[in-house]
Amino acid sequence: MSNKSFPPLFLERLEKIIPRDLFVSTLSSMKAPEVVVLRVNTLKSSFDEVGPRLSREGFSVERSVVCPQAIVLPSQERERLRGHAFISDGKVYHQGLSSQLPALVLSPCPGESVLDLCAAPGSKTTQMAAMMSNEGAITAVEIVRGRFYKLKAVCELLGAKNVRPVLCDGRRFRSGDLFDRVLVDAPCSSEGLFREGDPESFGYWSPRKVKEMAHKQKGLLRHAARFVRPGGRLLYSTCTFSPEENESVVDWFLKGDEGGFFLEPIALEGVPRYPCLATWEKRSFLSDISACLRVLPREGFSGFFLAQFRRRS
């Protein structure tokens, strides 16, 4: 096996996760060059300013039909964008289509209170700040000091003024407040970002890593639930295919929750999706888990998983 090829065990698992008729095309997508995706930062600009300007400069601009502020460009434009004024001025931000989905699903409104429990580097945090027009408050938690300062820098560059960064472990965050919306974009094994030919993207992968991540994710999700107000919403997401980190975590949470939360279907038109798993390694999951969303890596999207909970009033 070439050291630039996916680990055989990863491929073996993936073949059990992806429907048979989609497996070959999924692998092809993971080998193809990545498109460039920019999110227009509406705190500083608009698509009407950015789109036409990039077109006049000769860029091949395509607006996403799923993510309203996303501009999709061919992979070969990546180098030409480096150092562009729109990026250095914070008017646009590199953020993949799948990465923009959690905030779109959570849909925070101006004036609301939001907790982002795994916030760095700030992509989703600043996206939510823009959706809220800097009205209301976002508490953004990050455990790693270097990433915490990156979070602060990104918020400053993009003009996200309603964000309060907090340096601590999300599993130990303390607050006397309850929040309207809580986001757990959990650290994970990142399988959805694997690219064949880029060994750095999968060099640290192992079944042990998957299990370690699942343990951490359960702690984060359980702790996050404490801070959701009655009637409020909780969004759990990962950028991995692994059922241990997706359906299994959601199933574990619901079975131990004693009825305080329920899953809501995720209605996103135009997202390349495939069914959630009903079983994995002889374990059956709750039928409710079909309401979650698995995103296929194609059409500019990367492999992703989202689960939307609501706390009963």
What CATH class has 8-31+97-311?
A: alpha beta
Which amino acid is located at 67 in the chain? C
Q: What are phi and psi of 301, to 5 degrees?
A: -95, 155
118, 155, 188, 239: the catalytic one is 239
pLDDT tens, 166-184?
999 999 999 999 999 999 9
The answer to whether the Cα torsion of 235, 190, 70, 84 is positive or negative is positive
Burial profile 116-134: b = 16 or more Cβ within 10 angstroms, e = fewer = bbbbbbbbbbbbbbbbbee
Q: Whole-angstrom Cα distance, residue 41 to residue 39?
A: 6
Q: Whole-angstrom Cα distance, residue 249 to residue 231?
A: 22
Residues 6+ apart with CB under 8 A from 115: 138, 139, 141, 173, 175, 179, 181, 182, 183, 224, 227
In order of 68, 75, 123, 259, 287, the CA distances from 38 in angstroms are: 11, 12, 11, 40, 36
Q: What are phi and psi of 279, to 5 degrees?
A: -145, 160
Q: Which uninterrupted H or E stretch holds 125?
A: helix 123-131
Question: What pLDDT, on a 0 to 100 scale, did the predictor assign at position 27?
Answer: 95
Catalytic site includes residue 168: no
What CATH class has 35-94?
A: alpha beta
Which residues of the chain, if any, have pLDDT below 70? 1-3
Question: What pLDDT, on a 0 to 100 scale, did the predictor assign at position 1?
Answer: 40
Question: What pLDDT, on a 0 to 100 scale, did the predictor assign at position 2?
Answer: 46
Q: 190: alpha, beta or left, given left = phi > 0 and alpha = psi -120 to 50?
A: left
The model's pTM: 0.96
Question: What pLDDT, on a 0 to 100 scale, did the predictor assign at position 3?
Answer: 54
Q: Under a CB-based contact definition with an 8 Å cutoff, are residues 126 and 116 in contact?
A: no
| Domain range list for the chain | 8-31+97-311, 35-94
pLDDT tens, 196-208?
889 999 999 999 9
